[in-house]
Structure 1
Amino acid sequence: MNDQRWDAALKAARDAAEAAADIIRHYWHRGVDVEIKSDATPVTIADREAEQAIRAILASALPDAAIYGEEFGLDGDRDGLLWLVDPLDGTKSFVRRTPFFSTQIALMHRGELVLGVSSAPIYGEIMWASAGGGTWFNGERVKVASTTEMAQASISTGNIKTLTCDARWEALGAMIRDSNRIRGYGDFCHYHLLARGGLDLVIESDVNILDIAALAVIVREAGGVFTDLEGKPLNLDTRSVLAGTAAIHAQALQRLGSSGGH
């Protein structure tokens, strides 16, 4: 794809996120009924209507791209251009009136993530990034922190249930003891903080690619490193995250890896 087409794709993703934001705000103020899906996770009319609005905008802007969404699955061939969409990541927060939820839209080209938009409308943040284009936070270009020593590092955890049963759990505890501080911001929030220099390492063991694809581009373009817990690049089957400044990510990967893995 040429640069003009990438620019058009990024604009479409931002427009789609804004359309989803309008729907989410409407139902946030009005309230919604909650259904439980077959995987025991909640879904609402806000999730479904937001994804439908996103799909319409993305399909119009890039008709040859497939779309893989949280609520309506895969439409098209996932091996070429592929949009990855979670219209309302954090539905559990949404239904409990907690503003830690977001819309996640990313574009993958032949297996490589090339752009991402992360919009948290109630929280008041939107971030976007594209390959080679840097990372932008509410319209301002941002970068990760310059932290190089674990003793100065701020660490945030998200979904880590699986990690608690893992051989790396003790290594994580030791790393937390050696760090400056530990928080559990979770969801989009700690990735936004990482990309704009507010913390230095994010660890999650239980995620879905739709939750993190856009955030991976955002962190990388801000100068950070974003892999799974084994240090591998992301793909559609990725289930864990280790993201941070280059130096802190490398130290964390070494410490977790030396603990023996799973």
Structure 2
Amino acid sequence: MTDPSADFVVPEAWLDLAHALADAARPVARRYFRQPLEIIAKADESPVTIADREIEQAMRALIEARFPDHGIFGEEFGRTREDAPVQWVLDPIDGTQAFITGMPIFGTLIAACYQGRPVLGVVDQPILEERWVGAAGHPSTFQGAPIHTSGCADPGGATLYSTHPDMFAGLGRAEDYGRLTAAVKRTRFGGDCYAYGLLASGWADLVVEAMLQPYDYCALGPIVEGAGGAVSDWAGDPLTITSDGTVVAAASPALNVAARGLLNR
């Protein structure tokens, strides 16, 4: 089957909107960061704050104003125009646990998917004022300058990031993940979306996750891939808006293959 997004080049108007969305999110996140907040528990017991909801509302309004025929899939307010070929996928604060505990490694995630495939991604860290952008047909950038992964191909020399080991136990894959951690040079936990920015910039080599939602991962693949890395699910398939929530993001195609070999042995 031909991939309709394989040769797709993201229009400049989409990139302009992505930057505008991140610009709109920053002051809201900064206003609420390290301030007393009411923490609301969602049905899955994950926390949400007024900042999450205010940011998503602002971003949705901008999309509606510029591209009213595009779909929107946001963590806080669900989906609109689900059948539209272009879907904007939004996570206003990825890493809410970090946000509510005052740690500046959370980020606003913005993705555009075309025919189900992520083709544009932004990770914006509002407190540090750092921004990674990746888009099909464009080089990935950090603070507007091109970036590249480390190119690491050997797990034995790799730095691995994952958000938390519990995600693998919850999937019944703790033993598989343990083979990977035993093979790499070092393993670090935490980081959320920030770890993928470090990977794209060459400071880390591998990020492995599980049990993610589309708004958790759609923005990340275009950034890593546009910096020379390789991103897939654990089976090796490209990420889509309907993927199973497993992610292997690697500094090189060879490292992606090697990591998946350890996970799936």
What number of residue pairs does the alignment pair up?
A: 258
Q: CA deviation at 1:184?
A: 1.7
Residue 202 of structure 2 aligns to a residue in which SS? coil
Residue 107 of structure 1 aligns to a residue in which SS? strand
* 8 Å Cα contact 1:65-1:76 kept in structure 2: yes
List per-residue Cα deviations over 1:29-70 (Å, max 9, x = no partner): 543211112221211111111001111112222221011111
Residue 55 of structure 1 aligns to a residue in which SS? helix
Number of the residue aligned with 1:243: 249
Higher mean displacement: 241-250 or 152-161:
152-161
For the residues of structure 1 that align with 2:88 and 2:60, how far apart are their CA atoms? Answer: 9
For the residues of structure 2 that align with 1:166 and 1:40, how far apart are their CA atoms? Answer: 17
Q: CA deviation at 1:113?
A: 1.2
**Matches for 1:1-262 after TM superposition, within 5 Å:** 6-28=11-33, 30-164=35-169, 168-238=173-243, 239-244=245-250, 245-258=252-265
Residue 248 of structure 2 aligns to a residue in which SS? strand
For the residues of structure 2 that align with 1:7 and 1:26, how far apart are their CA atoms? Answer: 30
List per-residue Cα deviations over 1:103-145 (Å, max 9, x = no partner): 1110011112111111111133211111010111011110111
**Structure 1 gaps, min length 5:** none
* 8 Å Cα contact 1:118-1:127 kept in structure 2: yes
Residue 187 of structure 1 aligns to a residue in which SS? coil
TM-score (norm 1): 0.91
For the residues of structure 1 that align with 2:193 and 2:83, how far apart are their CA atoms? Answer: 25
**Alpha carbons of structure 1 residues 50 and 42: separation in structure 2 relative to 1, 3 Å:** same
* 8 Å Cα contact 2:232-2:239 kept in structure 1: yes
Higher mean displacement: 167-176 or 42-51:
167-176
* 8 Å Cα contact 2:167-2:211 kept in structure 1: yes
Q: CA deviation at 1:217?
A: 0.9
For the residues of structure 2 that align with 1:88 and 1:126, how far apart are their CA atoms? Answer: 14
TM-score (norm 2): 0.90
Residue 26 of structure 1 aligns to a residue in which SS? helix
Richer in helix (by share): 1
Percent identity over the alignment is 35
Q: CA deviation at 1:171?
A: 4.1
**Structure 2 gaps, min length 5:** none
**Alpha carbons of structure 1 residues 116 and 164: separation in structure 2 relative to 1, 3 Å:** same
For the residues of structure 2 that align with 1:147 and 1:80, how far apart are their CA atoms? Answer: 35
* 8 Å Cα contact 1:79-1:111 kept in structure 2: no
**Alpha carbons of structure 1 residues 207 and 123: separation in structure 2 relative to 1, 3 Å:** farther
* 8 Å Cα contact 1:202-1:242 kept in structure 2: yes
**Alpha carbons of structure 1 residues 220 and 12: separation in structure 2 relative to 1, 3 Å:** same
* 8 Å Cα contact 1:190-1:202 kept in structure 2: yes
